[in-house]
Chains A and B, each alone.
Chain A
Amino acid sequence: MNFDTLTPELPRRTFLKVATASGFALGAFPLAILAQGTPPAAGLKATEQPSAFVRITPDGIVTVTINRLDFGQGVQTGLPMILAEELDADWSKVRSEHGNANPAYVDPAFGMHLTGGSASIKNSYTQYRELGARTRAMLVSAAATQWNVDAGTLRTENGDVVGAGGKKLGYGELAEAAMKLPVPEKVALKDPKQFRIIGKPTGRIDARAKSSGQQRYGIDVRLPGMLTAVVARPPVFAAKLKSVDDSAAKAVKGVKAVLRVPVDRGGEGVAVVADGYWAAKQGRDALKLEWDTAGVEKADSARLLASYRELAGKLGAIKYNADVSKLASAPKKISAEYTFPYLAHAPMEPLNCTVAFTGSAAELWMGTQMPGLDAFAASNVLGVAPQAIKVNTQMAGGGFGRRAIPTSDYVVEACEVAKAARAAGLDAPVRTLWSREDDIKGGYYRPMHLHRAEIGFDEQGNILAWDHVIVGQSILKGTPFESFMVRDGIDSTMVEGMKEPYDVPMRLSVHHPQVNVPVLWWRSVGSTHTAYAMETLLDEVARATGQDPVAYRLKLMGDKHPRHKAALQLAVDHSGYGKRALAPGRAWGVAVHESFQSVVAYVVEASMDKGTPRLHRVTAGVHCNLAVNPTSVEAQVQGAAVMGLSMCLPGAAITLKDGVVEQGNFGDFTVPRITDMPQITVHIVPSAEPPTGIGEPGLPPLAPAFANAVAKLTGKTPRDLPFKFA
């Protein structure tokens, strides 16, 4: 999901165009939100007003509102650090809280409420610096008035305005007067050399709360009289009900109602509403349901694979169109087919959304990456104006993309349940809660893909022609994102990460089959598969021509990619690659990849343990420009590496048989455990340039680096994910 290729104004305009041209409901949302925003200070947008972002209480506590969802990536600490830097705040007194669907909290570059594309720090870096600087200027002004001196004679330090002779006024003492002053439009920002908070390794604001069970998440919301709903969804996506026998379900103690509700993709479901989760789940288990699956397509992984293979034999929509005629005469060739399965996000906090619906207005509580879009979807379902929807964005227990759904699926469903419950006479807030099985079986997967590549090269490893086809569902077709992220029939999220940074003569074409399986971006999106294909294929060319894979990559990059080279060199230097002898049975693996404008390189050590590949050590080189919080950058790369590793491990696949998802919980959709964890060290290339993304870029290069080590050990590149070894 790389939004950076868009001009800032384009998405907003396009959303409006979608709204008027097709009447597509979601597209109208920004209209509503723009109409609401009337900036109190002339000349400044809602996103530039300190009043929406900074609250200072008399005790000097500074609370910074974040315009994003924190679902682990650490923006609840990073964004306040940026603001506090320019504010010259006392960091020990800085707190933070989530914003909501208010217009002030849109992404300033993208113009909508969005946490995604690793863009939170990148797109709000200047915004939060200016907010801090504006607030500081107002506090200085207030002090100048109180002391009756020129503001230019004052300075600020660690939460105080300091005057002649070292006299001080705390921000807490000045806040009330300062907030009544005009908001300055233009403010000077610090030279990065003066930074004392930005760039300093800083512990998370929420570390204590999350280590002690005190942190509240969406699932922990408790409202007076609140009921819990569990929904029986169709076994095949979009199927309808044939019959419902709810007599046993209604007999379960605590069950209040059993309700037929519309579910995602035009399907039908049954919601069991009870006074708690356990009763609701017992009720659902007691339902006797017959489904009508005759009219819906029954996707089947084996059949899909066969049809994807057939498609890959044909030229698709053209992304790159190099001349590949030299393939036939190339002295050396690689012919490869890769397969990537559907993958579930499986955030640890099961999906949930709590809705308090009064009939004319509603309040929602959920961890969401797109509160504005969700609010609009809720207003449609509930039949009330968007302004009558209040979204309370909650800390989320992970997401990895699953909480940024163009269809707002779990929010829409929770609203349907709340509406049906109200119609059935239940005047209470309703929390719809998914079980883990609901989550694993409920769709919105990283799409299944098939790549096919034919590469012709010479004895020196010069690539003469590279013909590449990708087959996989489009994530964005049929969504409001389609008009600006699907071009010439190619979903940009599917081809991101192909070709660059290697100047190779590539013909790349894609096929987007339509399949009855809901798909979605999954941490690092297209790069989850493109980086794997690119980086293992290049390694293979290097091995086939007897070249060192690091030197070969550096040669191909030439002089055009200094950040790639710096990240790769840093990982190489710290790993001891080429200098240190490995333990017997181990091999090196290398990969480097740019996503979300940051580059991560891995040098890894792996072995084969009784036929099973095992990852022992990972050294990361990272170029994300300025690391606002190096502790957080390290954490994100560590975590993304684990999720990258997850793609390789046995059991990391969602498969369908005759339309039914075959996995259901962490027993059969497996994710890495501590026993899979390699040793990992993260090294950051120093830079003072404005920060680029870091939530996702650590993921893509891990699997190919691991695979390249496995290829060295076994002589065969694993072409199918997860790795298949007997």
Chain B
Amino acid sequence: MATLNVNGKDLAVDADPSTPILWALRDTLGMTGTKFGCGQALCGACTVHLNGAPIRSCVTPISAATGQKITTIEAMASDRVGKAVQDAWVKHDVVQCGYCQSGQVMSATALLKTNRKPTDADIDAAMAGNICRCGTYARIRSAIKDAATQLA
């Protein structure tokens, strides 16, 4: 039995230590906001924060997260930066199917936590690991810039 700290709460997880954080969240803890897209850290849909840094939860085993802080999309509404990103996402009507957007929001939030005035190149670099098959990239760029302005 492992203990994971998710969004500030210690939660018991009955899963093999090699289980990726993604499946502990989704199948064991029932937190389905974090999405399964590729299982190979290629698409970013599963992005969560580990001690504030964006990681791909589909390839990070729970054994690598014991004693550390996992933050998921479910906590973003009560995070100042996360909320600003979500508000910008709504204002710019970013989402289409929306499936990748939890991961996009997590990557964008991680960017704005360390870089309050990202350039276009900064945005592209930070978001290059997140695929959106619907092609919402133009609005993602606009929303990130807007969120940066709101946070300034």
A71: interface (CB < 8 Å): yes
Q: Which residues of A contact B16 (CB under 8 A)?
A: 253, 278
A211: interface (CB < 8 Å): yes
What is the 8 Å Cβ interface bit string for chain A, positions 641-679, against chain B (1 contact, 0 not)? 111000000000000000000000111000111110101
Place the interface of chain B in its size category.
35 or more
What is the 8 Å Cβ interface bit string for chain B, positions 117-152, against chain A (1 contact, 0 not)? 000000110011111111111111100000000000
* CA of A214 to CA of B28, assembled, Å: 18
Minimum Cβ distance to chain B for residue A637 (Å): 10
B93 near A72 with CB under 8 A, answer no
The contact of A679 among B72, B136, B138, by CB within 8 Å, is B138
A207 near B89 with CB under 8 A, answer yes
Q: Which residues of A contact B123 (CB under 8 A)?
A: 674
The contact of A347 among B23, B93, B97, by CB within 8 Å, is B97
B54: interface (CB < 8 Å): no
The contact of A398 among B34, B36, B97, B124, by CB within 8 Å, is B97
B70: interface (CB < 8 Å): no
B52: interface (CB < 8 Å): no
A213 near B102 with CB under 8 A, answer yes
The contact of B42 among A213, A350, A395, A667, by CB within 8 Å, is A667
State whether A215 and B98 are in contact (beta carbons under 8 Å apart), knowing that A220-B32, A679-B138 are contacts in the complex: yes
Q: Which residues of A contact B93 (CB under 8 A)?
A: 203-204, 207, 631, 635
The contact of A72 among B26, B33, B96, by CB within 8 Å, is B96
State whether A347 and B133 are in contact (beta carbons under 8 Å apart), knowing that A213-B73, A214-B33 are contacts in the complex: yes
What is the 8 Å Cβ interface bit string for chain A, positions 256-282, against chain B (1 contact, 0 not)? 000000000000000000011110010
Number of A-B contacts defined by CB within 8 Å: 178
B128 near A677 with CB under 8 A, answer no
B15: interface (CB < 8 Å): yes
A278 near B27 with CB under 8 A, answer yes
* CA of A242 to CA of B152, assembled, Å: 64
* CA of A498 to CA of B35, assembled, Å: 40
B105: interface (CB < 8 Å): yes
What is the 8 Å Cβ interface bit string for chain B, positions 6-33, against chain A (1 contact, 0 not)? 0000000001100110010011101011
Minimum Cβ distance to chain A for residue B140 (Å): 7
Chain B minimum-CB-distance residue to A213: B33
Interface centre among B34, B86, B97 (most CB of A within 10 A): B97
B43: interface (CB < 8 Å): yes
B135 near A213 with CB under 8 A, answer no
Question: Which residues from 49 to 93 on chain A have a C-beta closer than 8 Å to any C-beta of chain B?
Answer: 71-74
Chain B minimum-CB-distance residue to A221: B32
A349 near B27 with CB under 8 A, answer no
The contact of A207 among B19, B74, B95, by CB within 8 Å, is B95
Q: Which residues of A contact B33 (CB under 8 A)?
A: 212-214
Minimum Cβ distance to chain B for residue A577 (Å): 20
State whether A348 and B130 are in contact (beta carbons under 8 Å apart), knowing that A212-B77, A631-B93 are contacts in the complex: no
* CA of A211 to CA of B82, assembled, Å: 10
* CA of A203 to CA of B87, assembled, Å: 12
The contact of A278 among B19, B38, B89, B140, by CB within 8 Å, is B19
State whether A216 and B96 are in contact (beta carbons under 8 Å apart), knowing that A348-B132, A666-B40 are contacts in the complex: no
Question: Which residues from 126 to 143 on chain A have a C-beta closer than 8 Å to any C-beta of chain B?
Answer: none
Question: Which residues from 56 to 103 on chain B have a C-beta closer than 8 Å to any C-beta of chain A?
Answer: 72-74, 76-77, 85-86, 89-91, 93-102
The contact of A672 among B40, B76, B135, by CB within 8 Å, is B135
Minimum Cβ distance to chain A for residue B144 (Å): 10
A219: interface (CB < 8 Å): yes
A638: interface (CB < 8 Å): yes
Minimum Cβ distance to chain B for residue A77 (Å): 9
B55: interface (CB < 8 Å): no
* CA of A104 to CA of B131, assembled, Å: 36
A278 near B15 with CB under 8 A, answer yes
The contact of A206 among B27, B86, B95, B137, by CB within 8 Å, is B95
Q: Which residues of B contact A675 (CB under 8 A)?
A: 124, 128
Minimum Cβ distance to chain B for residue A705 (Å): 16
Minimum Cβ distance to chain B for residue A71 (Å): 5
Chain A minimum-CB-distance residue to B136: A639
The contact of B130 among A203, A212, A281, A674, by CB within 8 Å, is A674
B39 near A436 with CB under 8 A, answer yes
A303: interface (CB < 8 Å): no
* CA of A397 to CA of B95, assembled, Å: 11
Q: Which residues of A contact B124 (CB under 8 A)?
A: 674-675
B95 near A204 with CB under 8 A, answer yes
A212 near B76 with CB under 8 A, answer yes
Question: Which residues from 402 to 444 on chain A have a C-beta closer than 8 Å to any C-beta of chain B?
Answer: 435-437
A398 near B134 with CB under 8 A, answer yes
Chain B minimum-CB-distance residue to A219: B36
Q: Which residues of A contact B96 (CB under 8 A)?
A: 72-74, 635, 639
* CA of A222 to CA of B95, assembled, Å: 24
Q: Which residues of A contact B127 (CB under 8 A)?
A: 673-674
B133 near A400 with CB under 8 A, answer yes
B105 near A211 with CB under 8 A, answer yes
Minimum Cβ distance to chain B for residue A495 (Å): 27
Minimum Cβ distance to chain B for residue A274 (Å): 10
Minimum Cβ distance to chain B for residue A505 (Å): 37
B99 near A213 with CB under 8 A, answer no
A378: interface (CB < 8 Å): no
Q: Which residues of B contact A640 (CB under 8 A)?
A: 135
Q: Which residues of A contact B135 (CB under 8 A)?
A: 638-643, 672, 677
Q: Which residues of B contact A275 (CB under 8 A)?
A: 27
Q: Which residues of B contact A667 (CB under 8 A)?
A: 40, 42
B141 near A677 with CB under 8 A, answer yes
State whether A277 and B134 are in contact (beta carbons under 8 Å apart), knowing that A211-B101, A212-B33 are contacts in the complex: no
B136 near A638 with CB under 8 A, answer yes
Interface centre among A219, A278, A631, A642 (most CB of B within 10 A): A278
State whether A635 and B139 are in contact (beta carbons under 8 Å apart), knowing that A436-B39, A674-B128 are contacts in the complex: yes
Minimum Cβ distance to chain B for residue A228 (Å): 7
A666 near B43 with CB under 8 A, answer yes
Chain B minimum-CB-distance residue to A632: B93
A208: interface (CB < 8 Å): yes
State whether A277 and B27 are in contact (beta carbons under 8 Å apart), knowing that A211-B95, A211-B101, A213-B102 are contacts in the complex: yes
* CA of A675 to CA of B132, assembled, Å: 12
Chain A minimum-CB-distance residue to B135: A642
The contact of B23 among A203, A206, A277, by CB within 8 Å, is A277
State whether A638 and B15 are in contact (beta carbons under 8 Å apart), knowing that A276-B23, A436-B38, A665-B40 are contacts in the complex: no
A94: interface (CB < 8 Å): no
A217: interface (CB < 8 Å): yes
B45: interface (CB < 8 Å): yes
State whether A348 and B95 are in contact (beta carbons under 8 Å apart), knowing that A211-B89, A398-B133, A436-B37 are contacts in the complex: no
* CA of A32 to CA of B53, assembled, Å: 54
* CA of A686 to CA of B30, assembled, Å: 47
State whether A346 and B74 are in contact (beta carbons under 8 Å apart), knowing that A72-B96, A674-B128 are contacts in the complex: no
The 7 A-B pairs with the shortest beta carbon distances in the complex, nearest first, are: A213-B33, A642-B135, A397-B99, A210-B98, A72-B97, A213-B73, A276-B27
What would be 8 A-B contacts, judged by CB atoms less than 8 Å apart?
Answer: A211-B89, A275-B27, A278-B15, A400-B133, A436-B43, A638-B135, A638-B136, A674-B128
Given contacts A207-B89, A639-B96, 15 further A-B contacts (CB under 8 A): A203-B93, A204-B93, A212-B76, A213-B33, A213-B102, A347-B133, A397-B99, A666-B43, A666-B131, A667-B40, A672-B135, A672-B137, A673-B137, A674-B127, A677-B135
